[in-house]
Structure 1
Amino acid sequence: MLDVEFISAISVLGSAQWNAIAGLDYPFTRYEFLHALETSGAVAADKGWQPHHIVVRREADIIAVMPLYIKTHSYGEYVFDWSWAEAYQRHGRPYYPKLLAAIPFTPATGPRLCVADEAEREEVMQALASVLPAHAKEMNASSVHILFSKPEISALWQQQGFMQRSGPQYHWFDQEYGDFEGFLASFSSRKRKTLRKERRVVADQNLDLQVLVGSEISSAQWRFFFHCYQMTYAKRSGHGGYLPEAFFTQLAETMPEHLVMVLASHEGEAVAVALNFRDQHTLYGRYWGCVREYEFLHFEACYYQGIEYCLREGLRHFDPGAQGEHKIQRGFTPISTYSNHWLADADFSVAVAKFLKDEKLHIAQYLREASEMLPFRRGDD
């Protein structure tokens, strides 16, 4: 018999117990990451992200944990359900609150339901597939959403009655390239020349790029990063970003081994920065900002330096973040991402299921067409 508990703050469980289940490799389910979100105020009830994490016990032993939030909007999720919310509103029904199992502001595929023993995953999922809908109904939540699961886990949620949704992203995978020149050798001649030209233009603008890891990043560099982070959001969204400076400074103290910063300078002055996270196998591109625009610098700092870092460090996979078809011609392969959804309203559930079936066909067609844009050699290239 499994007991499912909902906790209002990750500190209720504590780092030792949470990390014993979630592990220390994937950065975004680590206690330190989720705790920094809460203590910095980035997620809270008044921000529309009320922590409501799941703890599963067998007798006294914790066997599974899952980040969960009560959401009163759909910002910061990257799996867009605004049209669903609007449809609810048109029919006079509330879409919010909803329950969301996701990493706030982080569209990176990875574990969501963390289990101590993989042999118990199916049993835990079966329990949650019953508990979560019932709990949603009790609190008058419209729905339950599980975002950016690994494909095989998303398929299991689908078997448990949670509709599956797919979406596109663009990821880099090491194909035994050896180094950046080996990576370029896989390109067609014309695409290889184009990429080399972009890198040469960056160098010709007297831009120097430096990769800093963890504790190598100074307080001044963190301050510069946050200034750029705020400027990027101000230009794009008219606000200073979802994450306060305290969030980043706390991560710098508690999990520096996961942080990789690319700093660009012009004649000794910092002008741009990209922040990545990493685990044993993957680099995750997360934030970019600049104080001045330089041609092709974004591609160099956010993509090419990340690929070189992966090749140096033996990382097999680079997830550079959501959106951006321009990544394809630079060697990032179009892939599917997966989420799962349960809606309490039977009529809306039927309508959404039809929408998702049609959307899946369009996504699959798009991915096939997008893959034709990849720069890799074909035949006699």
Structure 2
Amino acid sequence: MHPPLALRVLEAVSEVPGAAWDALTAHEPAAAGPFVRHAFLDALEQSGSASLRTGWRARHLTLWRGGELVAAAPAYARHGSDGDFSRDWEWAAAAERAGLDYYPKLLLAVPFTPATGRRLLVAAGEPRGPAASALLAGARALAEEEGYRSVHVLFAAEDEAAALAGAGLAERIDFQYHWRNAGYRTPEEFLARFGSKRRNALRRERAAPARQGIAVRTVRGGELAAEATTWADAMFELHRRSVDRMEWGMRWVNRGFYRRVLAAMPEALEIVEARRGGALVAAAFNAASPERLYGRYWGCREEHPFLHFNVCLYHSVDECIRRGLAAFEGGAGGDHKLVRGFEPALTRSAHLFLDRRLDAPLRRHLAEEVRARREALARWRAEAPVLKPLEAGGGPSGA
């Protein structure tokens, strides 16, 4: 007979040893993704990027059997929505018009990170269903106890989202644009899937850095680890330059975050650098799992035509081809990615509204939204694909 599970709510991920937390996903690193790693969450919290001051109160849900951590969910209480990518401002506005409180809310999510991955972390050998149910029950009990109006599980893995819908949460889907590797052996095989006019345009864009005297490459592994602080400072300064030029720019993460995360988990991080005359002029901050690359932040000190596309998109696409990775997720948004060979990919979330006056109308809205978005995706696949279909042998038809 196993000892019963006990729920503990933590104020910081540092209350759990990193090895114990990371053991929950060691059996499925690709499905979990790099962002639920202890080092990533700890860097966000210890740097103050995700803190009470910035509107993120850690309420991590952990399940213990005796002295052993067997399941967990990163969780945060919030009084707003900036930076969580839940895109629920309209819901909050509707609640306010109806005279209802929408905040505070409880998120099972990673701050500032709209990337799909595990949100309910369950150790190998632990029955997933009961552990996930216990975490969800714990989230609801915590919401009721501390006065949160809703619980949101954001950017959940597909199987996880289905289980949450089966448990009674309201499903939501949205789109991002991801590049998928169809077994390309070279970038030219990928470019061959475009029509000739678009293919030639992409070749011109990809060739722009060489014409401008700019060299683009990936810094990773031991090279990155050996100068982690230098790269952290450079990435912070470049990102800050770019964000400060944007009217709507938000500095979600600070210098301390870059320093901590690059020192703690350099093997899962990459910098795409662009140099002109040996000087660093732009860079992108990426993360990696065993199967995917994830684009997170970018910055530049010089503006050049197509530099952003090369540093943030094309170079990482080519890296995926070279390394045999399945996909590149270039971040949240960006319709411009479609004409560059990225395709719509569904993201999933699940929502529990504790106030019945909010629950009923929002569930109706979400059901209609899910139907409309699935229909829109089906229409796009039928009518507007940019890439030529692959033939049975793997090459593009009509190439």
Please, what TM-score do these two structures have when normalized by structure 2? 0.91
Equivalents in 2 of 1:61, 1:363: separation in Å? 42
2:280 pairs with one of 254, 263, 270 = 270
2:255 pairs with one of 245, 249, 267 = 245
Deviating more after overlay: 248-257 vs 91-100: 91-100
2:8 pairs with one of 5, 27, 43 = 5
Question: What are the equivalent positions in structure 2 for 1:287-326 lying under 5 Å apart?
Answer: 287-326=297-336
The offset of 1:336, in angstroms, is 0.8
| Conserved? CA contact 2:12–2:45, under 8 Å | yes
What does the per-residue CA deviation read over 1:38-63, in whole Å, with 9 as the maximum and x for residues that have no partner?
A: 11011112211011101112344321
The offset of 1:119, in angstroms, is 5.5
Number of the residue aligned with 1:206: 213
Number of the residue aligned with 1:375: 386
- Whether 1:339 aligns to 2:349 is yes
Task: Give secondary structure in 2 for the equivalent of 1:231.
Answer: helix
What does the per-residue CA deviation read over 1:309-332, in whole Å, with 9 as the maximum and x for residues that have no partner?
A: 112222111111100011111111
Deviating more after overlay: 234-243 vs 100-109: 234-243
Q: Which runs of 5+ in 1 are unaligned?
A: none
The offset of 1:112, in angstroms, is 0.8
Question: What are the equivalent positions in structure 2 for 1:84-99 lying under 5 Å apart?
Answer: 84-99=91-106
What does the per-residue CA deviation read over 1:150-182, in whole Å, with 9 as the maximum and x for residues that have no partner?
A: 111101000111111000001111111112112
* Cα 1:178/1:118, change in 2 over 3 Å: farther
Query: How many positions carry a matched residue from both structures?
Result: 381
Task: Give secondary structure in 2 for the equivalent of 1:224.
Answer: helix
| Conserved? CA contact 1:22–1:65, under 8 Å | no
Equivalents in 2 of 1:348, 1:59: separation in Å? 39
| Conserved? CA contact 1:329–1:374, under 8 Å | no
| Conserved? CA contact 2:183–2:324, under 8 Å | no
* Cα 1:324/1:63, change in 2 over 3 Å: same
Task: Give secondary structure in 2 for the equivalent of 1:149.
Answer: coil
Deviating more after overlay: 117-126 vs 79-88: 117-126
Equivalents in 1 of 2:125, 2:103: separation in Å? 33
Q: Once the two structures are aligned, what percentage of the paired residues are identical?
A: 35
Task: Give secondary structure in 2 for the equivalent of 1:161.
Answer: coil
Deviating more after overlay: 34-43 vs 215-224: 215-224
1:135 pairs with one of 131, 138, 142 = 142
Amino acid in structure 2 at the alignment position of 1:84:
W
Deviating more after overlay: 27-36 vs 123-132: 123-132
Number of the residue aligned with 2:198: 191
Number of the residue aligned with 1:116: 123
* Cα 1:118/1:163, change in 2 over 3 Å: farther
Amino acid in structure 2 at the alignment position of 1:262:
V
Task: Give secondary structure in 2 for the equivalent of 1:21.
Answer: coil
Amino acid in structure 2 at the alignment position of 1:21:
L
Equivalents in 2 of 1:148, 1:39: separation in Å? 23
Deviating more after overlay: 18-27 vs 337-346: 18-27
Number of the residue aligned with 1:148: 155
Question: What are the equivalent positions in structure 2 for 1:206-225 lying under 5 Å apart?
Answer: 206-217=213-224, 218=227, 219-225=229-235
Q: Which runs of 5+ in 2 are unaligned?
A: 390-396
Number of the residue aligned with 1:236: 246
Amino acid in structure 2 at the alignment position of 1:343:
F
Task: Give secondary structure in 1 for the equivalent of 2:127.
Answer: helix
Number of the residue aligned with 1:20: 23
The offset of 1:130, in angstroms, is 2.8
What does the per-residue CA deviation read over 1:324-354, in whole Å, with 9 as the maximum and x for residues that have no partner?
A: 0111111111011000000011121110011
Equivalents in 2 of 1:328, 1:118: separation in Å? 41
2:270 pairs with one of 260, 271, 274 = 260
Number of the residue aligned with 1:77: 84
What does the per-residue CA deviation read over 1:259-309, in whole Å, with 9 as the maximum and x for residues that have no partner?
A: 111111222222111111001111001111111211111111111100111
- The Cα RMSD (Å) is 1.8
| Conserved? CA contact 2:171–2:367, under 8 Å | no
Number of the residue aligned with 1:170: 177
| Conserved? CA contact 1:332–1:374, under 8 Å | no
* Cα 1:369/1:79, change in 2 over 3 Å: farther
The offset of 1:214, in angstroms, is 3.7
* Cα 1:331/1:115, change in 2 over 3 Å: same
Amino acid in structure 2 at the alignment position of 1:57:
W
Number of the residue aligned with 2:114: 107
| Conserved? CA contact 2:221–2:267, under 8 Å | yes
Question: What are the equivalent positions in structure 2 for 1:345-364 lying under 5 Å apart?
Answer: 345-364=355-374
Amino acid in structure 2 at the alignment position of 1:286:
R
The offset of 1:238, in angstroms, is 5.4
